[in-house]
Amino acid sequence: MGVSAPPKEADRLKTTVDENARISDEFDSEGEASEGSELSEVATEEGGGSSGDEDASTSDGSGLDDDDEGEKGGSGEEAEARGSSSDDEDASATDNDGLDSVEGSGDSDSERSRVFEESDSSEDELLEIQLEMFPWSGTRMSHILDMTLKGRITKKERQDKLDSFLANVDDSKNWRKIYDDYNDEDVELTKEEAKMISRLLNGKAPHAEFDPYAPYVDWFKWDDAIHPLSNAPEPKRRFIPSKWEAKKVFVVKYVRAIRKGLIKFDKPKEEPRFYMLWGDDSGAADKTNHLSYIPAQSQSYQGPVVSISTEVSGEWIASGSTDGTVRIWEVESGRCRKVWQFDEAVHYVAWNPMPELPILAVSVGQDAYLLNTGVGNEETQRKLGELLYVEAAKVSDDSNNPICSWIQDDEHGGIKLRHAKTVSSVEWHRKGDYFSTIMPADILFLLLFSLAIFRLYASAFYVALTCLSRESKSVMIHQLSKKLTQRLPFKLKGIAVSSVFHPTRSIFFAVTKKNVRVYDLLKQKLIKKLETGLREVSSIAIHPGGDNVILGSREGKLCWFDMDLSSKPYKILKSHSKDVTNVAFHRSYPLFASSSDDGTAYVFHGMVYSDLNQNPLIVPLEILRGHTTFNGRGVMDCKFHPRQPWLFTAGADSSIKLYCHN
Amino acid sequence: MDVDMDERQIQARFVTKLNPPFKAPPSAITIPATVTRLGLSTIVNSLLKAGDPEWETQPFDFLIDGELVRMSLDRFLLAKGISAEKTLEIEYIKAVVPRKEEEPSLHDDWVSAVDGSCSRFILTGCYDGFGRVWKGAGVCSHILEGHTDVITSVSIINPLGDVTLATASKDQTLRLWKMDSEEGVDDVPAKIRPFKILRGHSASVGSVAAQASGSMICSGSWDCRVNLWQTDVSSAEGDSVSIKKRKTKNGTEEPQLEGAPVSTLVGHTQQVSSLVWPELDTIYSASWDHTIRRWDAETGKDVSSIICGRPFNCLSVGGEGSTLVAAGGSTPILRIWDPRKPGTSAPVYQFSSHTSWISACQWHSKSWFHLLSASYDGKVMLWDLRTAWPVSVIESHEDKVLCADWWKEDCVISGGRDSKLRISSGVPVL
């Protein structure tokens, strides 16, 4: 019976410390239980002081009782006073016990049996002593014996709550008692244990003697060793070439080749930042002129085509180029019918809107030419011959200041109108008799001129100023039948850019860089001023209805004005990335187009309703990218075929293209 | 022919409407299903060669149920839903392919117009303002001088009898030229004299067409009108004729008549680009205003019109019962309308193998199925209504083709921007 008891006891001892730590949580609630065990311990030492070995097991065993407080209550102080020493003994006892058990397990079988015999006898003695001293512990023993017999421990019965309360209420050390659920006993913590717990709670090392700041001992041997730390053989991977390295070499090869310039990428084509605004662009000799979809001609332009104009029936189209040539083409076949060669770059061509007057107005340098195109039968040719004839050089005088002279030009077959300055554009009136020319007046020149006058005569300057304010110097209106020239009798504030006649009424639009002035030619007064809000207006086109105007600007914007609506733009379309060179309305289809230096032309659907309440409908339709940019210039002009929904574009790449619907 | 035994076989019998030298034995033979036109042609040639040792191989075209075979036989049968079980009847005709390319006839400028309605000669108009009469390839017999501008259209009036030539020009006039038939040598008259100047248009004349009887011609112009003119002297408009003296080459002065239009057909809103006068009182006109109109020549009324979204450049009436209207314009598609179909303006055929504007189209005068078209893409195509693909493509021109016509029923003549008149002969349409 007693044979199996001691290892059990030892086991329990070993766990005690751990248990203490574990149950620290339950400290408060079960503190009372440990009171008795200390007393019993003290009692044990008092009783069996001679037998140090057995002390621990005895004390442990005694920890279970809780009925003995009453009789041992008085000796509480004593026990406390000796607490520290007893604890020490306790610890040593534990150690011994452990060693003992190790010794026991370590011996040979024979020895073990001998030890068992010895322990057997000693255990028996112990049991006897215990039984002698603590008659109550018989119950405890019988528990253990029960366990060994039945293979399980029967738990001791729980005390009545009221009884335990009454028992604990007077006990001052009740708070130190903990119920150890694992071992089914009440443990009373020693002072030392309580301190250890409080240290743990504070996050310190549990033992007071542990020095967390002990001086560092450098255990490492710093001097070189003869042998490597690891004597493993070199792995295989160190001797075979790396796949990744091989790849890297491949990449590096390319990188080096790129750095050396052996490999070249297609660089994005750089647009020249500057282009010759006034210089001669005669470098495009190799470019061939052609119309897409329709046959081209044998001769080719040398320079950009800057202006085109269609004949009113759509049979012919005229074009002018910076190389000084003006050509007439047959639209259907693309055949060049006639060529005129001028000394200077052609700026503008305009076909007379009357079908019976096949006259082409051309602006070249300081001259505006009226050319006989040679289209038509003998009758019209005869009439034209009469019309395009001036006997002597006729000078239109205006206050002793010749503004324009009409000169017969037999070389080109027509009339030459010599102006004071460069003529930039020519526009016909719808009836084909009047036409306007624009000379973009040089502001600097004007200023210098007036300053010079001012230095000479202050009064004369005043006269000059009034003269300037009364009429525009830059816009001329000519009458073909009477060979008359007059200035636009209004003052333009700003540099004239373009002009256009109203398609149905005698209204004249003069375009300056910032705004558009609308004049009634009959009443001789300003009707309206359109505020564009644009930086620089470049072109204008009027809807055949006459109430809507589009303007193109140098910043690539397109402004649609509804004249009835407001003097501010109805819609601004930002479509082009570069200057808009020209805008055009179709005569019959609801189409308008814009051409730009970015090499594209846009076609829009622009429906104007007869119902005044309905706003115009503008829908972009197509981007035409047929032309290549040359010297920073793209599409220079665009005109619609007068009857078909076809668009002609003139490009800086010396070609005219015809776009058809398909 | 190696016949693979693994493949499908079809029982076929070759029939033809051609004359005896082309008749193959009518017995049914077994042919592989994968053969194409070329294979069928080889089979027929070998059959004919078996009957006639001196047979010369020549290409054939094949019709099954009135449709030309343009793919392998099994695919064709599958597409048409024809059973391959029963004996297939395959009709063969001579392939419409030019056998010979004649010498080019060189002009001084672009060739703008050509007419081959007279089998004895070809009449061409040129951008240098001269009309030319060609006896054959490269043989120019006469040059018609007189116009001051580009000749846009030419027509041979009454090609069988007393031949008159009409030329239309951008100088807004038309000129008539008489051929002296009595002095003819080698079928071609020795002399052609200017006969009449027709003034009345106020813009370039774009087209001219003659009535079949030859007594009247009509002309279309950029002034949007169609004018009708008398061709002979003894007519109602004789009193308006003024006689003009004209110097000729041999120094003698000849009277030249001037004529005014008998009547004018007004209705088009744009250039009249092409005209046909197929019957006595019916005139067809095609215009850039996207319409083809049929006029009653007697009353001058617009009877009916075909509307298409594109400007028309050329027009031809022919085909079955000489009623189908073929027209091309500023699209690459050649369209054919049947005016007898009521209430629809949808074309009955559309041929779209061209890649650029179509400049000319012309029905064959005898065949119901064949027509030609010329285009700015430099090709002349021959079409058969029984297939959607061109029967033949003539690519002899180096530049855009401006005009084309049939000549002698088996030649295709065409002129273009390369200043050459090309004659492709030996086209066995019939």
E strand or H helix at A66: none
> What whole-number distance in Å separates Cα of residue B74 and Cα of residue A290?
48
CA distances from B88 to A49, B15, B26, B68 (A): 132, 10, 12, 14
> What whole-number distance in Å separates Cα of residue B362 and Cα of residue B78?
34
Between chains, do A295 and B173 touch, taking CB under 8 Å as contact? no
User: Which residue matches tokens 């033809």?
Assistant: B16
Q: Which of B288, B357, B400 sits opposite A643 (nearest CB)?
A: B288
Distance from CA of A279 to the nearest CA of B (A): 37
Q: List CB contacts of A383: < 8 A, sequence separation 6 or more.
A: A356
Would you say domain A289-371+420-661 falls under CATH 3.40.50.720? no
Residue A644 near chain B (CB below 8 Å)? yes
Mean pLDDT to the nearest integer, B133-153: 87
Tens digits of per-residue pLDDT, A255-304?
999 898 888 877 766 666 665 555 443 333 333 333 344 433 334 567 78
Residue A315 near chain B (CB below 8 Å)? yes
Between chains, do B417 and A355 touch, taking CB under 8 Å as contact? no
Percent of chain A with pLDDT over 70: 65
> What whole-number distance in Å separates Cα of residue B215 and Cα of residue B235?
10
> What whole-number distance in Å separates Cα of residue B306 and Cα of residue B293?
6
Q: Which among A7-21, A153-167, A296-310, A626-640 has the top mean pLDDT?
A: A626-640
At residue A12, φ and ψ (nearest 5 deg) are -60, -40
Residues 326-385 (A) with a CB less than 8 A from some CB of B:
330, 332-333, 335, 355-356, 375-377
Between chains, do A314 and B127 touch, taking CB under 8 Å as contact? no
Partners of B330 on chain A (C-beta within 8 Å) are: 293, 644, 660
Query: DSSP assignment, residue A269?
Result: P
Q: Which residue has the higher pLDDT, B376 or A452?
A: B376
Q: What integer pLDDT is reported at residue A394 of this predicted model?
A: 60
Confidence of residue A29 (pLDDT cuts 50, 70, 90): very low
Q: Which of A295, A355, A377 sits opposite B400 (nearest CB)?
A: A295
> What whole-number distance in Å separates Cα of residue A289 and Cα of residue A284?
10
> What whole-number distance in Å separates Cα of residue B107 and Cα of residue B153?
16
> What whole-number distance in Å separates Cα of residue B63 and Cα of residue B15?
10
CA distances from A89 to A41, A51, A59, A83, A84 (A): 11, 12, 11, 10, 9
Tens digits of per-residue pLDDT, B299-308?
888 888 888 8
Distance from CA of B171 to the nearest CA of A (A): 5
Between chains, do A294 and B357 touch, taking CB under 8 Å as contact? yes
Of A377, A589, A658, A661, which to mutate for an interface test with B (greatest number of B Cβ within 10 Å)? A377
pLDDT at residue A162 tops 60: yes
Decide if A409 contacts A384 (C-beta within 8 A).
no
pTM comes to: 0.66
Distance from CA of B170 to the nearest CA of A (A): 8
Q: What integer pLDDT is reported at residue A271 of this predicted model?
A: 63
Find, in chain B, the residue whose alpha carbon is nearest to that of A313: B222
Partners of B203 on chain A (C-beta within 8 Å) are: 313, 315, 355, 376
Least confident of A314-318, A402-406, B263-267, B403-407: A402-406
> What whole-number distance in Å separates Cα of residue A542 and Cα of residue A516?
12
Residue A415 near chain B (CB below 8 Å)? no
Decide if A454 contacts A382 (C-beta within 8 A).
no
Q: Which of A335, A377, A660 sits opposite B330 (nearest CB)?
A: A660
Between chains, do A643 and B270 touch, taking CB under 8 Å as contact? yes
- Residue whose C-alpha is closest to residue B357's, from A351, A644, A310: A644
> What whole-number distance in Å separates Cα of residue A101 and Cα of residue A104?
5
DSSP symbols for B385-405: TT-SS-SEEE---SS-EEEEE
Tens digits of per-residue pLDDT, B247-262?
444 444 455 678 888 8
Partners of B171 on chain A (C-beta within 8 Å) are: 377
A33 by Cβ neighbours in 10 Å (0-12 / 13-18 / 19+) ranks as buried
Distance from CA of A377 to the nearest CA of B (A): 5
A vs B: CB pairs below 8 A:
52
Beta strands in A563-616, from DSSP E residues, in sequence order: 571-574, 580-585, 591-596, 601-607
Buried b (16+ CB within 10 A) or exposed e, A580-610: bbbbbbbbebbbbbbbbbbbbbbbbebebee
> What whole-number distance in Å separates Cα of residue B270 and Cα of residue B224?
5
Q: Write down the ipTM of this complex.
A: 0.84
Least confident of A180-189, A466-475, B224-233: A466-475
Least confident of A434-448, A616-630, B368-382: A434-448
Longest dimension (CA), chain B: 84
Q: Which among B22-26, B77-81, B292-296 has the top mean pLDDT?
A: B292-296
Of B170, B223, B269, which to mutate for an interface test with A (greatest number of A Cβ within 10 Å)? B170
Residue A660 near chain B (CB below 8 Å)? yes
Structure tokens, A290: 């052609």
Query: DSSP assignment, residue B368?
Result: S
Distance from CA of B268 to the nearest CA of A (A): 13
Q: Which of B199, B271, B376 sits opposite A294 (nearest CB)?
A: B376
Q: What integer pLDDT is reported at residue A147 of this predicted model?
A: 53
- Residue whose C-alpha is closest to residue A119's, from A107, A104, A108: A104
Least confident of A549-558, A588-597, A627-636: A627-636
Mean pLDDT to the nearest integer, B265-293: 90
> What whole-number distance in Å separates Cα of residue A334 and Cα of residue A318?
11
Distance from CA of A650 to the nearest CA of B (A): 21
Q: Which of B171, B271, B356 sits opposite A293 (nearest CB)?
A: B356
Q: Which of B127, B271, B311 sits opposite A335 (nearest CB)?
A: B127
Tens digits of per-residue pLDDT, A181-227?
888 888 888 888 999 999 999 988 888 888 888 898 888 888 877 88
Q: Which of B112, B222, B331 sits opposite A313 (nearest CB)?
A: B222
Mean pLDDT to the nearest integer, A170-176: 80
Confidence of residue B121 (pLDDT cuts 50, 70, 90): confident
Least confident of A17-31, A388-402, A502-516: A17-31
Partners of B274 on chain A (C-beta within 8 Å) are: none
Find, in chain B, the residue whose alpha carbon is nearest to that of A376: B171
B202 by Cβ neighbours in 10 Å (0-12 / 13-18 / 19+) ranks as middle
Partners of A644 on chain B (C-beta within 8 Å) are: 288, 311, 330
Partners of A293 on chain B (C-beta within 8 Å) are: 330, 356-357, 376
Query: DSSP assignment, residue A558?
Result: E
Between chains, do B402 and A333 touch, taking CB under 8 Å as contact? yes
Tens digits of per-residue pLDDT, A325-356?
888 888 888 888 888 888 888 889 999 888 88
Between chains, do A295 and B288 touch, taking CB under 8 Å as contact? no
Mean pLDDT to the nearest integer, B329-355: 86
Residue A293 near chain B (CB below 8 Å)? yes
Q: What integer pLDDT is reported at residue A159 of this predicted model?
A: 73
Mean pLDDT to the nearest integer, A305-324: 88
pLDDT at residue A567 tops 80: yes
Structure tokens, B404: 């084309």
Q: What integer pLDDT is reported at residue B219 of this predicted model?
A: 92
Decide if B403 contacts B116 (C-beta within 8 A).
no
> What whole-number distance in Å separates Cα of residue B126 and Cα of residue B9?
56
Mean pLDDT to the nearest integer, A530-537: 85
- Residue whose C-alpha is closest to residue A271's, from A656, A597, A655: A597
Find, in chain A, the residue whose alpha carbon is nearest to that of B355: A293
Distance from CA of B6 to the nearest CA of A (A): 49
Find, in chain B, the residue whose alpha carbon is nearest to that of A381: B171
CA distances from B377 to A239, A629, B373 (A): 69, 27, 11
Partners of A314 on chain B (C-beta within 8 Å) are: 270-271, 288
> What whole-number distance in Å separates Cα of residue A388 and Cα of residue A245?
86
The mean pLDDT value of chain B amounts to 83
Of A292, A313, A329, which to mutate for an interface test with B (greatest number of B Cβ within 10 Å)? A313
Q: Give chain A's radius of gyration (CA, Å).
A: 59
Q: What integer pLDDT is reported at residue B286 of this predicted model?
A: 92
- Residue whose C-alpha is closest to residue A38's, from A10, A11, A77, A12: A77
At residue B110, φ and ψ (nearest 5 deg) are -60, 145
Of B175, B352, B357, B403, which to mutate for an interface test with A (greatest number of A Cβ within 10 Å)? B357
Structure tokens, B314: 């050329």
Q: What integer pLDDT is reported at residue A152 of this predicted model?
A: 58
CA distances from B113 to A588, B178, B314 (A): 32, 19, 12
Decide if A539 contacts A580 (C-beta within 8 A).
yes
Partners of B170 on chain A (C-beta within 8 Å) are: 375
pLDDT at residue A180 tops 90: no
- Residue whose C-alpha is closest to residue A465's, from A477, A447, A486: A447
> What whole-number distance in Å separates Cα of residue B319 and Cα of residue B277?
15
Q: Which of A293, A332, A376 sits opposite B172 (nearest CB)?
A: A376
Mean pLDDT to the nearest integer, B225-246: 61
Boundaries of every domain in chain A? 2-149, 164-201, 289-371+420-661
Distance from CA of A307 to the nearest CA of B (A): 25
Residue A449 near chain B (CB below 8 Å)? no
The mean pLDDT value of chain A amounts to 71
Between chains, do B288 and A644 touch, taking CB under 8 Å as contact? yes
Residues in chain B whose beta carbon is closer than 8 A to a beta carbon of chain A?
110, 112, 127, 150, 170-173, 199, 202-204, 222, 269-271, 288-289, 309, 311, 313, 330-331, 356-357, 376, 399-400, 402, 417
Tens digits of per-residue pLDDT, A477-499?
888 888 888 877 777 777 888 88
Residue A182 near chain B (CB below 8 Å)? no
Q: Which among A37-46, B16-25, B107-116 has the top mean pLDDT?
A: B107-116
pLDDT at residue B4 tops 70: no
- Residue whose C-alpha is closest to residue B144's, from B160, B161, B170, B124: B124
Phi-psi region of B409 (alpha: psi -120 to 50; beta: other; left: phi over 0): left
